[in-house]
Structure 1
Amino acid sequence: MGWAVRVRGVVARRDLTSLTREKTIVLALAIQLFVAAFSSFLVVGLTSLYDPSAVQGQVTVGVTGDAGDGLVAATAGQDGLATVRFDSREAASQAFDSGRVDALVRAEHYTDDGGTRVRITATAPAESFRGTLIVAQLREGLESLERGERQARSQYLDDPVIPLPDEVGASPYFGFSYTVLVPLLLFLPVFIAGSVAVDVVTEEIERGTLELLQVAPLSLTAIVDGKALGAVLLGPLQAAAWMVLLTLNGIEIANVGALLALTVGLALALVAVGIGLGLVVRERQRAQLLYSLGILGAFAAAALLPEHPATTAALLAIDSPGRLSYVLVGVYLVIGLGVALGVRSLVSRVDAEGL
């Protein structure tokens, strides 16, 4: 028993050592390391793509129309947005064309069968990032106007309106860090671990070195166990390192044990799938393509679950998980173990000489 464990460990170390010569894997690890090590700096830039309104920049909007005073009042306290009232559309258009205002908004009252409403016509530049920032700031101003209109008109309703909660000035950096960055650094190593499993199996088959390993003597099951062990360890070890680096960068990570259990369960399942594809397809490119498409499909299908794995990781990281989150972590562990045992049973029935 001890000899069998040591042999599997030797195979695992051999595969992990060979990964240092794979430029693609080393580059992927280096990119993840860079993101985790400098996350506090990268979050600022990446959040500008995730939520452009997080980037501070003064936006000046020209307002016209008989309902324009309401928009000016609604946006009076909004950071990053200033309004300029114009008496005519021509004067506002001239200011927009000359660059004195960044956008135009025409707010007019009109009457229909349902009563008096406000029609908003907005004009913004077609520039890429600047235009996106203007639209984001303008959207917040229009939302403030809508809240004010709803509150003012509630007195004409037969039934009282439920009071709207106060707006919360949450930091967009917090949301990006825990809903995007943390799941990315947890799941990307797991995805790479499965891809590595595909490579280590198909390369042995294509090069004809799998038979040499059996001279040891080793059974095909023992060889696959060793290769799976090295690939499975790759995911949780990376995830643990990234969480340490995130913590050093000021992004506190809670429930580290549960997060590692989540990555172990997913790594077991993906590595087993990768090994199974490698043994069945036997061709590296086709196996990698099937693996990638299958994982992308599974990740998209996960949206049908009561709680997406990325949401589970985010809730655990911010120390706000529900009972469902812990149950799902256990489910992922059971599924991973079940898939691994199923593939191992398949390997035991494969004719090694036929590979």
Structure 2
Amino acid sequence: MGSRATIARRELAGLRAEKTIVLALAIQLFIAAFSSFLVVGLVSMYDPGELGGAEVDVAVTGEAVDRMEAAAAEVPGVRTRTYEDAGTAHDAFDARVVDAVLETDRREGRIHVDATVPDSDVRTTVVVVQLREVLRTLEASERDRRVDDLESRPLDVPDRIGSSPYYGFTYTVLVPLLVFLPVFISGSLAVDSVTEEIDRGTMELLRVAPVTIAEILDGKALTAVGIVPAQVAAWLALLWFNGTPVANVGWLLVLATAVAAVVVELAVAVALLVPDRRGAQLLYSVGVLAVFAGSSLADGGPVNAAARLAIDSADLGVYLVVVGAVALACVSVAVVRLTLDRCSPAALG
């Protein structure tokens, strides 16, 4: 273990000169330190209506003006102006008197609506969000009105549960981002470290020392994996400082470390099989992104597990994901040993 620790300290000292890792750490530090502002800004881009106070003037015309005006009256910030025909309404839209146009028409007992909104304008998203709420309100009112016309009464629709998008965005996007972004970076560092040693021929010089190739790779992997829990702990502490409590920090650190071990060992294997730095980085990046993209779609993936741990809603399945990640990390080490045994000495030095 002494040789591995020595190589790990050597690698850690070399990270200070790496501008890439310093820049990546700075970006993560910015995200964690200013998480509250970022959440407000990003969620506002996703759903500006959550900020409130968005006022929109809408031109309404057609055969169902009364229904549309009634629906718009229930949406805060939406003001309607009635026009006799669609041409006049569009003239007002072109003159920027109104922000949007809603043309209504009755067909076979149904209300059809054609909406016109600004094209690539700054206010387009705000207008679309407000019109969406108006149309949802119109749809709900029409359903309630037509219940009496049915032969049998349908089941009552459950009331809409109001939930803050900030909460969902923080724990399903921001926390997993800060937990797993260091993992990606550590894998990339491992690829660079191994391929650089092979390109420069310094792997052969390291072999002159009383250490084996396995110990050299273990030392490099130990550094790449070891910086992950330190970063994650720092980022979660900054989230807590910004008023975002995160539960099960210990389990999150274990999950991040285990996934980092899997990714770093994968990166080392890729670097051994593809000694070219650019080719290895491309193969590593595509492979890791594909794996994480696929796992994020599954309920039992590490991204979902991190989110559920953070909000303290983990069940037995989530804890099994963490245990499985630890077991997979051990398997990854064995796979890299097998890969190392199949590599020729010339390929390593």
Q: Does the pair score TM above 0.5?
A: yes
Who is 2:241 aligned against?
248
Instruction: Give CA deviations for 1:114-146 in whole Å, capped at 9, x if unaligned.
Output: xx1110110001024421221122112211211
Listed as ranges, the gaps of 5+ residues in structure 2 are none
| Partners of 1:70 and 1:264 in 2: CA distance | 57
Distance 1:189 1:61, change over 3 A: same
Q: How far apart are residue 200 of structure 1 and its match?
A: 1.0
* Residues 174-323 of structure 1 aligned to structure 2 (within 5 Å): 174-303=167-296, 305-323=298-316
Question: Is 1:99 aligned to residue 96 of structure 2?
Answer: yes
The more displaced of 53-62 and 288-297 is 53-62
Which residue is equivalent to 1:23? 19
Other structure's SS at 1:108 match: strand
Identity, in percent, stands at 48
SS of residue matched to 2:222:
helix
Deviation at 1:47, TM superposition (A): 1.7
Return 5+ residue gaps in structure 1 as ranges. Answer: none
For residue 127 of structure 1, what is the aligned residue in structure 2? 120
Q: Which amino acid aligns with 1:313?
A: A
- Taking only aligned residues, the RMSD between alpha carbons, in angstroms, comes to 1.9
Structure 2 CA distance for aligned equivalents of residues 10 and 51 of structure 1: 51
Amino acid at match of 2:71: A
Instruction: Supply the distance in 2 between the matched residues of 1:150 and 1:308 (Cα, whole angstroms).
Output: 39
**Structure 2 partner of 1:78:** 75
The one-letter code sitting in structure 2 at the alignment partner of 1:42 is L
Can you list the C-alpha shifts for 1:6-43, whole angstroms capped at 9, x where unaligned? 22111112112211111111111111111111111122
**Residue number among 155, 161, 165 corresponding to 1:168 in the alignment:** 161
Contact 2:57–2:78 at 8 Å: present in 1 too? yes
Separation (CA, whole Å) in 2 of partners of 1:217 and 1:172: 57
Q: Secondary structure at the match of 1:62?
A: strand
In 2, the alpha carbon distance for the partners of 1:284 and 1:159 equals 69
Count residues in correspondence: 347
Q: Structure 1 residues 281, 249: CA separation in 2 closer, same or farther (over 3 Å shift)?
A: same
DSSP-derived class of the 1:105 partner: strand
Q: Which residue of 2 aligns with 1:153?
A: 146
One of 14, 30, 43 as aligned partner of 1:34: 30
Q: 1:165 and 1:350, CA in 2 relative to 1: closer, same or farther beyond 3 A?
A: same
Does structure 1 retain, via aligned residues, the 8 Å contact 2:74–2:137? no
Q: More deviation in 300-309 or 203-212? A: 300-309
Any idea what the Cα deviations from partners look like across 1:39-65, whole Å, max 9, x if unmatched?
Answer: 111222222333333344212212122
Verify the 8 A CA contact 1:220 1:352 in the aligned structure 2. no
Distance 1:300 1:117 in 2: 42
Q: What is the TM-score when the length of structure 2 is the normalising length?
A: 0.93
Equivalent position SS for 2:233: helix
TM-score, normalising length from structure 1? Answer: 0.91
